[in-house]
Structure 1
């Protein structure tokens, strides 16, 4: 029988240890493996805004499996059927966008649990997650190793953030700064004072529940500020933005008469 897969990222969050991550949106197993080899604590495979689908995510999970970084998969939506498929291919940490209410959070938890605790369909004999039924006790123990992260990124989500975090089965709340800024009337300006204040308030509210908060910040000073404020899992860059900066920087050295692309990390829409 195969060894039961352990979720080191979930255990780190539960223990209060900070985790520094990288965003991977190029939708390619080779580039995902390059990112994984850098050994960040976690690597986000983006199926919401990255041009990913289920087979592509599977190939990336396989590509990064032998490295120390933990794969987190962001789904395009929180549909139960989609959650079932991503869990079956072996994703153990899921990030779900646009969660706004307690009911939303409770339904997501149910989608990650087998009956009678939830509604996840039973197909372990066909699933990579159970190593095709070679993992002893997978059906009864799988929920212990599933880490569920929900995104709060709207005004309504902000109002309910603490209650969402308190839902049993929610392991962490990720603040989506770009959509949050848009919801607050500051589209493309994640650094606006109102947005920063809202983020500080929700981080504090989540901390009171004992759950982990997370965010992305591709500006180094801002990322360090969030880490200093106790945000537990912070993405500090993305494969796309790093590639753009490196390419534009190299071109500027040899073709200086062309304007360099502006740094649009604050407007990245992640």
Structure 2
């Protein structure tokens, strides 16, 4: 579905992503690593937010691989690569429904048709309701997004990312800041959308990563140091040394969950 070859990003003397060869199939793959490992930078390269220093990004369309290395963010989105963000990113003063309807329109053929009667956009409204129903927010459609709990806003972000029915979803810490009561709901939602989308998930909660992932890729100092099934990655001594530090199933990495991955904004 999506692949990189020799993908590299330098910031002055710092190499944030270092010659990464990666391929995402129709699966749920988690991308993990310590803060500053390059995870968010990698997402930004995949979606056109950043231009790589070297290497390529390709998207599978039918039987062909299409080079999208130089595509702008709106172009990668139109081609079917959608993402959520580490920091909640919704229109707080618009209704829950309107947040998703706007995303549906932006992903459709009427992205520039602004001055139309609202009835013209009925098809996008119907699609938006469908997305909200899938994430469990249909009953909050008329509410302002600002009134949602943090966990519900995370669900809304997933609904927005689903607009236009993308082929690839990049989910950047969907559980960040979510209360312990809502973690299982977000986990179930991630598993649900992975049933019919290729999903690349950045997540610090190792219980979730090891439970939901079909594959785990580990970045350390911009390089891939492990790539495989969760059990094999968990047992890898290099991964234990660089990141997991003796993690065993059931040990929630609370300290990492509370961090904001601030270093990755520049890395």
TM-score by length of 2: 0.40
Flag the structure with higher strand content: 2
Which gives a bigger RCO, structure 1 or 2 (Cα 8 Å, sep 6+)?
2
